Amino acid sequence: MHETDSLSAAAVTPTPAAPPVSHARFTIGDVVRHRMFDFRGVIFDVDPVFANTDEWYDAIPEAIRPRKDQPFYHLLAENIESSYVAYVSQQNLVADDSDEPVDHPAIPGLFTGFAEGRYRLKQEHRH
């Protein structure tokens, strides 16, 4: 085999395709509700694809386990009993149309004001 033959063979070898990635439907400050479970929250961070541990992912029952190739959102969440931080796939979130603020103790540290169903990120937390 000539050197040019190996170069042309390498040039036509296809590179593996990256997995499809959805575009984020929600943004920081949006108030959302979980599609299946009774909680809502405000988004404070977005991962373009799954970025948690395999142990966390494997703990989700397989029948309802979301795909990893979609945005995942970090929420300051609340339900009727408590407030907490949640990590939720895009497929399991819907916009919350209640126009009610979220009751979470960390909100004043990250956000200012609540208007038109969303929070405004404090200036010092923007990049």
Residues 3-7: what's their mean pLDDT? 47
**Residue 42 main-chain phi, psi, to 5 deg:** -110, 135
Reported as a pLDDT band with limits 50, 70 and 90, residue 112 is very high
Structural domains of the chain, ranges and CATH numbers in brackets: 22-121 (2.30.30.390)
List CB contacts of 93: < 8 A, sequence separation 6 or more. Answer: 25, 26, 32, 33, 34, 35, 73
pLDDT of residue 7: 46
In whole angstroms, what is the distance from residue 111 CA to residue 88 CA? 20
How does pLDDT run across 6-20, given as a tens digit for each residue? Answer: 444 445 555 555 555
Reported as a pLDDT band with limits 50, 70 and 90, residue 4 is very low
